[in-house]
Amino acid sequence: MNEYYRSAYRPLLALDCVIFGYEEGTLKVLLTRRKQEPYKGAWGLATGFLHEGESLDNAAIRILKKQTGLDDIYMSQLQTFGDVGRDPVERVVSLVYYALVRVDAYDEKLLEQNQAQWFSITALPKLMFDHEDMIQKSWGKLRRKSRYQPLGFELLPEKFTLPELQTLYEAIHQKQFDKRNFRKKILATNLLEKLEEKQKGVSKKGAYYYQFQKDKYDELIAAGFNFELKSMAFGS
Amino acid sequence: MNEYYRSAYRPLLALDCVIFGYEEGTLKVLLTRRKQEPYKGAWGLATGFLHEGESLDNAAIRILKKQTGLDDIYMSQLQTFGDVGRDPVERVVSLVYYALVRVDAYDEKLLEQNQAQWFSITALPKLMFDHEDMIQKSWGKLRRKSRYQPLGFELLPEKFTLPELQTLYEAIHQKQFDKRNFRKKILATNLLEKLEEKQKGVSKKGAYYYQFQKDKYDELIAAGFNFELKSMAFGS
DNA sequence: ACAAAAGTGTTGAAGATACACCCATGA
DNA sequence: TCATGGGTGTATCTTCAACACTTTTGT
């Protein structure tokens, strides 16, 4: 290694994960209490430093696994935060990932073990550093992305009903949708398989379960199919 | 500072800038030759390490200023690249910014001084490390963003004609647009002011100059106006 | 007068929105 | 039987895409 590299400043590099979940009709975020002084006990995102020899994505996977017990989580980089005073203890540059998990797959025991808790996105506690900003920006990204990518499914169990899916979208967008138009739009993607089974216990009539056809989606993606919006496509 | 921070791994943190320009009907990227061994002389993006006490955006501004002589450049974070072997010399995590500059504002002398050169985006030389990937991803972002934000103006002089603007969009999207539809769409934003003056020398008839009304745009943004697409808005 | 690029409107198709009633079931 | 939430179709409007001729002016 030469002078060019050796003399450079080396900041700490952290990864913070905004973990979204969906439960009881509201969009939630998983928060944990900070384990070290100062600000010990303050609510914040799941976090960790990058390890030597570890890629960024792998570091995020490691942190998510530790926090949730799950691999194979939908996960994507949001952006990097690096204001000078954002961590008052020491200069830390922080890469934010956001992740979508199925709350039903979540290991309850880990909540206690990690001093973690789900909070409704509309009723967050006071958060340390710039974590509030990170969550709001992640939510914005989720809103925008859910318009052209079938993300909602990542937050629901394998089998879900259309009313459930609609309520989820309403929680993400904080907006009511028309039942008929919503169904039309969702079913028009042709990515949902209707099952024979009906949901019991929630309503008297019972709603049909659907399943997201991930294979079909992956095929379409592989074939170069584009779920992007058509309008403003400057077509021809 | 306590143990939690002290024991953490500290990678090098670089910033790489994809500088887009527009000239002679083609979208271009500004590249420089690497100044140190190994790979000295290889083409790559304008780059630099983060300095102590400097925010990420300020670091990007510094690097852009050094490269182009300009401040006040449109600039935005793309994403962070951190694969383990991406810099073969040493582990370097790299934050990519993309920037849009007016080539006419560019100081010619700096090109030589920095061993820099504009390359058409469709005819890039072999690039070092993962810089090719960074450029392609930035271009993708530029394409997507130009559909719902008036970005094109950043690449043109203050005064420009609609045929010029259209050619720019065609260069960004690598696609021909219909003159009439393009005009309609652009003028529908109500953000362009038609000037009295006509362009001379390019065509016999001469095209009217237009000017982007940045004040008006900023006002609308401040008022919460949203340039996002309407379709898929899950409206009501 | 003619060549070359600038400028302009309309029509049909597709997609988005608004809206109201019947159905199945458990209590 | 009735209360609750599930399911369905249509009419209107907006937006997008396709398309061809006239205007201006320099040579």
- The answer to whether the Cβ–Cβ distance between A56 and B82 falls below 8 Å is yes
- Which structure tokens are listed for B37? 């061994």
B102 domain residue, yes or no: yes
Q: Least CA distance to A50: which residue of chain B?
A: B9
- Phi/psi for A114 (5° steps) reads -95, 5
- The mean of the pLDDT values for chain A is 90
B59 lies in the same domain as B126: yes
Tell me what pLDDT residue A227 has: 63
β pairing state of B74-81 and B46-49: unpaired
Q: Can you tell me the mean pLDDT for A170-182?
A: 93
Nearest residue to D16 (CA, C1')?
Answer: A231
Q: Residue B1 has what pLDDT?
A: 54
Q: State whether B118 and B78 are in the same domain.
A: yes
Structure confidence at residue A226 (pLDDT) = 66
For B36, residues 6+ apart whose C-beta sits below 8 A from its C-beta are: A2, A4
Bases of chain D below 7 A from a protein C-beta are 3-10, 15-20, 23-26
CB contact under 8 A, B93 and A50: yes
Predicted pLDDT of residue A80? 98
* Encoded tokens for B194: 């038609």
Chain B residues with CB inside 8 Å of A148's CB? 232
**Cα A125 to Cα A45, A116, A174, distances in angstroms:** 12, 13, 19
Contact A69, A110 (CB under 8 A): yes
Flag whether pLDDT at A1 surpasses 60: no
**Residues B135 and B190 placed together within one structural domain of the fold:** no
Beta bridge partner(s), residue A29 = A20, A119
Q: Can you tell me the distance from the alpha carbon of B159 to that of B180, in angstroms, rounded to the nearest whole number? A: 21
Element containing residue A142 per DSSP (H, E): helix A131-145
* A126 is near strand C: CB distance < 7 Å: no
Same domain? For A123 and A175 the reply is no
Q: Is the CB of A204 under 7 A from strand C?
A: yes
Q: Given this model, what pLDDT does residue B176 score?
A: 92
B27 close to B64: Cβ distance less than 8 angstroms: no
Last residue of a domain, one of A145, A173, A207: A145
Q: Does some domain include residue A35?
A: yes
Half-sphere exposure of A169 (CA within 13 A, CB side): 29
- Tell which of A111, A145, A179 closes a domain: A145
**CA B131, CA B142: separation in Å to the nearest integer?**
16
User: CA of A75 to nearest chain B CA: how many angstroms apart?
Assistant: 14
pLDDT value at residue A34? 94
The CATH number of the domain holding residue B91 is 3.90.79.10
What tens digit of pLDDT does each residue of A184-235 get? 999 988 899 999 999 998 899 999 999 999 999 988 888 777 665 443 344 4
CA-closest candidate to residue B19, choices B136, B101, B79: B101
SS3 A4: helix
Q: Per the domain annotation, does B229 fall within a domain?
A: no
What distance in Å separates the CA atoms of residue A211 and residue A188, rounded to the nearest whole number? 14
My answer on whether B26 and B116 are in the same domain is yes
Q: What's the confidence (pLDDT) of residue B226?
A: 67
pLDDT at A236 over 80: no
| Structural domain contains residue B230 | no
Res B229 pLDDT > 50: no
Nearest to B9 among A8, A49, A80 (CB): A49
Q: Is A113 an 8 Å CB contact of chain B? A: no
The string of DSSP codes covering chain B is: --HHHHTS---EEEEEEEEEEEETTEEEEEEEE--SSSSTT-EE-EEEEPPTT--HHHHHHHHHHHHHS--S-EEEEEEEE--TTSSSSS-EEEEEEEEE--GGGS-HHHHHHTTEEEEETTS---BSTTHHHHHHHHHHHHHHHTTTS--GGGGS-SEEEHHHHHHHHHHHHTS---HHHHHHHHHHTT-EEEEEEE--SSSSS-PEEEEE-HHHHHHHHHTT---S-STT----
Domain annotation covers residue B164 = yes
- Name the nucleotide with the smallest C1'–CA separation from B232: C16
Q: Do B234 and A51 touch (CB under 8 A)?
A: no
Average pLDDT over residues A81-104: 94
- In this structure, are A180 and A208 located in the same domain? yes
Q: Is B81's pLDDT higher than 60?
A: yes
Q: Is the pLDDT of residue B232 over 70?
A: no
* Cα separation, B76 vs B180, whole angstroms: 31
In whole angstroms, D6 C1' to A229 CA is 30
Answer with the one of B128, B145, B162 that is the final residue of a domain. B145
Which structural domain range is residue A45 located in? 3-145
Number of domains in chain B: 2
Does A59 share its domain with A128?
Answer: yes
> Are residues B104 and B189 part of one domain?
no
Kind and range of the H or E run holding A19:
strand A12-23
Query: Could you tell me how many residues make up chain B?
Result: 236
Summarize pLDDT for A109-140 with one digit per residue, the tens.
888 888 999 999 999 999 999 999 999 999 99
Answer yes or no: do A174 and A121 share one domain.
no
Which residues have C-beta within 8 Å of that of residue B57, sequence separation ≥ 6?
B75, B77
**Burial class (CB within 10 angstroms; exposed 0-12, middle 13-18, buried 19+) of B126:** exposed
- Across the interface, whether the CB atoms of A84 and B185 are under 8 A apart is answered no
